[in-house]
């Protein structure tokens, strides 16, 4: 866990159509139209053979459009607009990069554990290329206080930063880190579709973007497809109890002021689901861990302002239009400080990070032996190590 400081009647027909949890009714007026009967003479037509072409057996299948999620939770258009609006304020957007930079740094630390070169790497959902900036920074030596180790960028020949928001993707294109590695920015037509060939990347990284994906299983399967055999995927996303302090405070404030609760924070994946999703996407050698970052803010207004500047505002489908009422916000701020506040009057915000590592399968990887193939007794091993193993009278082993 880490803590950061914040810098329309006659005959009527009613049709009811059920969609999600809401019912819609349409009333259709059926006018009475009188028509005069008309006599038509029919001419006999010579019979024709019923079949003029050979029978071709066909079978129809119901298929889902590739990339179209079964259930949509987030409004992708709204999220794109939020990112674009936030990135146009360059200085304001850069000032709230503290969270993305810290998470990217922790993700790159995990990359240090893999002792190999990566000729071609994909940064999926690159935001403002935060990972690229961290890769070019010198690594602090574990013994000395001086940064003497070479940057991680020296182990990467080519880095492709892919992002759906053009303004955010090119926000920092003029900064010096762009010249310290072979960096290519590519604009994605959709954040849920990867337009890359199979077996084309030596590694795929993703930092703080996957939590806005509607069809996460499909995206993970696509990541596995574009990876080369025995290549890693390393990602981190917000999940679990992220911003639980803000969520509970807004819910209690709305119950008090409005007598009901609306959605103001996004639903997030739980850490228990990530392993199953990676396994369904055919990843091997899985590693999933959780880390918390707690950031202190002066009040709830500062927290929500920073979230908006990050482009991380609520984008759930069916959310209430317009902003939150001022009296609700004032009540939420008081509840926030009462339930979760610090002694100095500031309020903490918890960001729960779910890190995941999965490898594309390869014959080179270590494979488990088949069940029942064990030919060595653990008793023999322990005896060789000097343990005194014997069977008791009740048939239970003891030492």
- pLDDT of res. 152: 87
How far is residue 27's CA from residue 320's CA, in Å, rounded to a whole number? 27
Residue written as token pair 């979760």: 340
Q: What residues pair up with 296 in beta bridges, in sequence order? A: 5, 348
Q: What residues pair up with 359 in beta bridges, in sequence order? A: 232, 284
- pLDDT of res. 102: 95
281 or 9: whose pLDDT is higher? Answer: 281
Mean pLDDT of 303-308: 94
Q: Which of 266, 212, 213, 204 is nearest to 235 (CA)?
A: 204
* 388 pLDDT higher than 90: no
130 or 23: whose pLDDT is higher? Answer: 130
* 289 pLDDT higher than 60: yes
The 10s digit of each residue's pLDDT in 240-280 is 889 999 999 998 998 888 876 677 777 788 888 999 999 99
Domains and CATH numbers, the chain: 76-360 (3.40.50.150)
* 348 pLDDT higher than 50: yes
Q: Which band of pLDDT confidence, cut at 50, 70 and 90, is reported for residue 298?
A: very high
* 30 pLDDT higher than 50: no
* 178 pLDDT higher than 80: yes
- pLDDT of res. 255: 86
Q: Which band of pLDDT confidence, cut at 50, 70 and 90, is reported for residue 74?
A: confident
Mean pLDDT of 320-343: 88
* 211 pLDDT higher than 80: yes
Q: Which of 139, 151, 160, 155 is nearest to 204 (CA)?
A: 160
Average pLDDT, whole number, for the chain? 80
- pLDDT of res. 165: 95
Determine phi and psi for 123, rounding to 5 degrees: -100, 100
How far is residue 94's CA from residue 87's CA, in Å, rounded to a whole number? 8
């Amino acid at each position: 866990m880490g803590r950061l400081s914040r810098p329309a009647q006659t005959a009527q027909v009613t049709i009811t159509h059920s969609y999600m949890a809401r019912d819609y009714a349409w009333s259709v007026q059926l006018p009475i139209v009188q028509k005069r009967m008309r006599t038509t003479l029919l001419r006999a037509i010579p019979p024709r053979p019923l079949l003029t072409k050979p029978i071709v057996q066909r079978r129809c299948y119901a298929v889902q459009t590739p990339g179209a999620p079964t259930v949509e939770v987030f409004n992708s258009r709204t999220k794109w607009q939020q990112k674009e609006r936030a990135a146009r304020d360059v200085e304001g957007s850069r000032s709230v990069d503290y969270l993305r930079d810290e998470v990217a740094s922790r993700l790159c630390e995990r990359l240090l554990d893999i002792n190999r070169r990566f000729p071609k790497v994909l940064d999926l959902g690159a935001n403002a290329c935060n990972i690229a900036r961290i890769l070019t920074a010198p690594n602090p030596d574990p013994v000395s206080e001086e940064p003497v180790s070479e940057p991680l960028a020296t182990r990467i020949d080519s880095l492709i930063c892919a992002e759906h928001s053009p303004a955010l993707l090119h926000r920092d294109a003029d900064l010096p880190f762009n010249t310290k590695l072979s960096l290519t920015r590519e604009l994605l037509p959709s954040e849920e579709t990867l337009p890359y060939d199979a077996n084309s990347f030596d590694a795929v990284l993703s930092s703080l973007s996957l939590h806005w994906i509607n069809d996460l299983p499909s995206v993970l399967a696509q990541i596995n497809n574009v990876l080369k055999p025995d290549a890693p995927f390393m990602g981190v996303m917000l999940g679990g109890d992220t911003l639980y302090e803000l969520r509970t405070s807004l819910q209690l404030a709305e119950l008090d002021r409005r007598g009901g609760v609306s959605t103001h924070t996004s639903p997030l994946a739980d850490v228990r689901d990530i392993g199953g999703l990676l396994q369904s996407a055919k990843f091997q050698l899985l590693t999933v861990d959780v880390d918390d970052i707690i950031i202190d803010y002066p009040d709830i207004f500062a927290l929500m302002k920073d979230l908006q500047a990050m482009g991380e505002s609520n984008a759930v489908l069916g959310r209430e239009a317009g902003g939150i009422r001022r009296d609700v916000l004032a009540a939420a701020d008081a509840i926030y400080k009462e339930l979760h506040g610090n002694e100095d009057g500031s309020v903490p915000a918890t960001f729960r990070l779910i890190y995941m590592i999965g490898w594309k399968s390869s014959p080179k990887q270590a494979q488990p032996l088949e069940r029942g193939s064990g030919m060595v007794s653990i008793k023999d091993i322990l005896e060789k190590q000097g343990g005194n193993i014997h069977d008791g009278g009740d048939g239970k082993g003891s030492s």
